[in-house]
Structure 1
Amino acid sequence: MTLTRLPTRRIGSLTVGAQGLGCLGMSEFYGSTSETEAVATIHRALDLGATLLDTADVYGHGANEELIGKAVAGRRDDAVLATKFGVVRPGSGVGAAVRGDAAYVRQACDDSLRRLGVDHIDLFYLTRVDTTVPIEETMGAMADLVKAGKVRELGLCEAAPATIRRAHAVAPVAALQTEWSLWSRDIERETVAVCRDLGVAVVPYAPLGRGFLSGEIRSADHFDEGDFRRFGLPRFTPSNLARNLVLVDRLVGLAEGLGIPAAQLALAWLHHRGGDVIPIPGTRRRTHLEENVDAVFLSLGPAELAAVEAALPPEEVHGARWNEQSMEYIDR
């Protein structure tokens, strides 16, 4: 394990570590949680330079923001806090609607500031595009938050290229957060090029395929009873999982040949996509955090990168990345 602090990247005016930390699993969706270990993991991330901490208002119905606020109390200057709004989630599911109207933007920001216990949010994302509200209205309201000093930089999540351009015409979009990994590569068709044209950093979530690219998940028995991969994601159904294991086993074989864990190899591949790519792998434990951070320092040559891509061709992945309900909220 390296003790070297991470190199840095830019998201608008923000300086962040080359890899961040997704905090969703510290509160729900991925099985049992421990607040003590979660706080220790966040502190370790800051020590290592993984300064970008990612959350959302709906994670744990606000509990995740409160957890992060507790963890960074006394270390606010070390952390770059990113949170998201837009999904309306009254129950235990992933969400029931999306709102991007100006009044909701303002209220969501104030609520997140209160839960985080801070006077400003570093990076404020619209987590899903509200197709009933012009993106110009949503982005205009978000820009007003910057003027008011409540937010430093603005971001979009899962936004289509045309939407990114329209939003950017209203106010600078500093970051696009979207799913990107060896088995989710749709954004490479057009979205990445648009982001680079506009100077928008790309922040990939689920860069390890929700843990699958680690090679440690062999069946649904791996998941706790409350883990949403057990029931909410097509790629983890028994038939699709069995087929996808064939692909991930190829990745594991390549990683073993290099003497590194498969998760590190998958993350290193993503880091080689460009200096404007800042993945945010999620974890609840310090051991996994440290293993993930080491991926930043791996150097892969052209032959190694080609072998990784040949092992996991995106057209051979079985199952959609979200279920039908969740895909309805993806801007395409």
Structure 2
Amino acid sequence: MDVRKLGNIEVSPIGMGCMGLSHGYGEIPDRAYSIEAIRKAYAFGCTFFDTAEAYGPRPGVLGHNERIVGEAVHDFRRAVVLATKLHLDTNEVSAKGLEVVVREHLTASLDRLRTDYVDVYYLHRINPDIPVEDVAGVMGILVQDGLIRGWGLSQVDADTIRRAHEVTPLSAVQNIYSMLERGVEEEVIPYCLAHDIGVVPFSPIASGFLSGKVTAGSDFSHSDDVRKYVPQLRTENMEANQPILDLLESYAERKNATKAQISLSWMLHKYPNVVPIPGSKNQERILENLGAWNVHLTDGEFAALEAGLARIPVHGHRGFVERQGSSMANWNRR
């Protein structure tokens, strides 16, 4: 297994998105099961774990996921890379000052993660009231203080990345990217490639669609299942996007792999700075996804797969940041 880099931070080629252990995919698993899932991922070879202060069963209650991750990796903390995220509230920053607020959030995250530093500290969402250049300046101070090794942005365009990177070099950018959502290929990934910034795709299996295991009959009725809001998982769009699954299946049979593994192998082959973080609350699925780093496409296979994808239109784009009114309150924690 090769390693990849987020800036100068080495990680496994695929990481583990831990959100689903606390939020987003229906009933959350038992805490012991979640901790075991993270430890199994590490034993399998995963060294990159992604969490956030906002991931939890209820909005406004911070840290549920960070506590699980912190307990799970405590015995091998120095051997793994931890990424977490903070939100910035305009009123809070106005009252206390930006650096004070960022330090308070980081201190709380460090406590929940049971560590004295974070490897990658993301701004979870851009707050239009707070210049990203100012955030970058504070992140640079935290790097100098040894509290974080690097920093990142989530769901941002290339211009925002450029403005932030010019103040304090970014380690990573976390945006949506999959075979169904390829907008970052236009400007974001090229800029990041040119400036040694890692790209960390969330939802790289398109909320499970590319695995073939999420179907029109899947139940998303739980109040905390964000998949009910994903356009690609509407019945009409799943039916329209079936040719992509058929294409993946043809490669899966040839490579003795799963459709999810082929979709992940495709992005690993395409870009050397991409480190996907598929998320799941199922231990078997987590290990299956990590196993994609052992599935290698030849240059010819990759070219044929790319050509096949180019002939198939995608239905139900989520867009840059999907909006569904007030019903998206929980989803925006992603």
TM-score range, shorter chain: 0.7 to 0.9
**Partner of residue 200 from structure 2, selected from 194, 199, 203:** 203
Contact 1:281–1:292, Cα closer than 8 Å, also in 2: yes
Distance 1:289 1:258 in 2: 19
- Partner residue of 1:11? 6
- Structure 1 residues 134, 314: closer, same or farther in 2, change over 3 A? farther
**Partner of residue 26 from structure 1, selected from 14, 21, 43:** 21
Shift of 1:189: 0.6
**Partner of residue 264 from structure 1, selected from 255, 261, 286:** 261
Q: Secondary structure at the match of 1:179?
A: coil
Distance 1:134 1:159 in 2: 13
**Partner of residue 35 from structure 1, selected from 2, 24, 31:** 31
Equivalent pairs: percent with the same residue? 35
Contact 1:234–1:320, Cα closer than 8 Å, also in 2: yes
- Structure 1 residues 52, 230: closer, same or farther in 2, change over 3 A? closer
Contact 2:207–2:227, Cα closer than 8 Å, also in 1: no
Contact 1:155–1:173, Cα closer than 8 Å, also in 2: yes
- Structure 1 residues 170, 314: closer, same or farther in 2, change over 3 A? farther
Contact 1:220–1:230, Cα closer than 8 Å, also in 2: no
Distance 1:303 1:78 in 2: 36
Contact 1:86–1:128, Cα closer than 8 Å, also in 2: yes
- Partner residue of 2:87? 86
Relative to structure 2, which stretch is displaced further, 306-315 or 102-111? 306-315
TM-score by length of 1: 0.87
Matches within 5 A, 1:24-173: 24-32=19-27, 33-60=29-56, 61-86=62-87, 101-173=98-170
- Partner residue of 2:230? 233
Partner AA of 1:300 in structure 2: L
Contact 1:69–1:115, Cα closer than 8 Å, also in 2: yes
- Structure 1 residues 232, 129: closer, same or farther in 2, change over 3 A? same
Partner AA of 2:20 in structure 1: G
Distance 1:221 1:11 in 2: 35
Partner AA of 1:287 in structure 2: E
Q: Secondary structure at the match of 2:199?
A: strand
Given the alignment of the two structures, is residue 296 of structure 1 paired with residue 297 of structure 2, yes or no?
Answer: no
Partner AA of 1:285 in structure 2: N
Unaligned runs of 5+ in 2: 57-61, 90-96
